[in-house]
Amino acid sequence: MNPTIELLQHHRSIRKYKTTSLTTEQIEAIVKSAQMASSSSHVQAYSVIGVTDSDVKRKLAVLSGNQPYVEESPLFLVWCADMYRLREACSLNETEMVAGTMENFITATVDVALAAQNAAIAAESMGLGIVYIGGIRSNPREVSELLQLPELVYPVFGMCVGVPDHDPGIRPRLPLQAVYHHNAYKHDGTVIRQQIAEYDQIMRQYYLARTKGSRDTTWSKEMADKYRQPSRIHMRGFLENQGFRFE
C-alpha cells in the first residue's frame, strides 16, 4: 500500500473545524487539483464558488437545512455544474449551443463530481478535513440567487473545508463483494440480501459505538427510511427554469 491509497482509505467526514483560515496557497492548490480531474471531451463543465464571508455562510447554512458546520467551516465551497461558460464559448464561434439536454446535464454533473473529489483528496493530503453538503439542493433557487448563478448553472453540492477539530473515525463501507462484479452484474437477490444482512450487523455496532448506545439502527433500515418517499422533487422544476431540458 502507498501513501495515496492510505489517504483514500482513511477518509472521514469532518463536521467540526478549528478557526484557522486557509491560506491563498492552500485554496489555489485545492482548486488546481480539482481542475486536473478527468473531464468529458475536455468541456470542464463546472465552476466552484469559495465562500468565506460570514454572513453568506450563515445564510447558506440555513438554506442547507440549518447545518451549523457550513457557517463554522473556514471555507465553504459550492460546486456548480456549468453549461453557461460553454454557451459563451459557442457564441464566440458564432454557434448557437444546444444547451439544456439530458446528456449535457449528465456531463456537467459528472464533471463537477469528479473535480470536487479531486479537491477533497487534495485538501485531505494537506491535513484538512471536508464534508459534502447535499443540503445545498434543498433550496436551490435561493442559493442560486444568493450566489448570483446565471442560467445553465446549478449548485450540485457544497463542501466544508478546514482544519479538523475532532476525529469521528472511519465509517464502514459495504463489503467489496457487494459492489464489485466481475465481467457482469451478479444480481442474485439471495446473495445480495445476505451481504446486506452481514453489513447491517457491522453498521449496527458502528452506530451503537458512535452514539454510546443511543442509536440502534442498521444500514438497510436507514436506506428504507430514506427511499420510502421522494426527495427534493422541486429539483426538476428548478433545473428546467435554469435552462436544462429533460425530454
pLDDT, the chain, mean? 96
Q: Residue 96's pLDDT is what? A: 95
Mean of pLDDT values over 115-125: 98
**CATH T-level topology, domain 3-169+230-241:** NADH Oxidase (3.40.109)
Binned at pLDDT 50, 70 and 90, residue 116 comes out as: very high
Radius of gyration of the chain (CA): 20
Distance CA 24, CA 195 (A): 46
Q: Residue 216's pLDDT is what? A: 97
Whether the per-residue pLDDT at 218 is higher than 90: the answer is yes
| Count of all residues that appear for the chain in the document | 247
Q: Which long-range contacts (CB under 8 A, 24 or more apart) does 97-102 make?
A: 99/152, 99/243, 99/244, 100/152, 100/240, 100/243, 100/244, 100/245, 101/244, 101/245, 102/245, 102/246, 102/247
Q: What is the pLDDT of residues 136-178, one digit of tens each?
A: 999 999 999 999 999 999 999 999 999 999 999 899 999 999 9
Whether the per-residue pLDDT at 99 is higher than 90: the answer is no
Binned at pLDDT 50, 70 and 90, residue 100 comes out as: confident
Distance CA 238, CA 247 (A): 15
Binned at pLDDT 50, 70 and 90, residue 69 comes out as: very high
Q: Residue 246's pLDDT is what? A: 82
Whether the per-residue pLDDT at 247 is higher than 80: the answer is no
User: Residues with Cβ < 8 Å from 208, sequence gap 6 or more?
Assistant: 215, 216
Question: 132, 13 in Cβ contact below 8 A?
Answer: yes
172 is written with which cell numbers? 464502514
Q: In sequence order, what E strands does 120-184 have?
A: 129-133, 153-162
Mean of pLDDT values over 128-142: 98
Whole-structure pTM value:
0.95
The one-letter code for the residue type at 125 is S
Residues of the chain with CATH 3.40.109.10: 3-169+230-241
Mean of pLDDT values over 78-105: 95
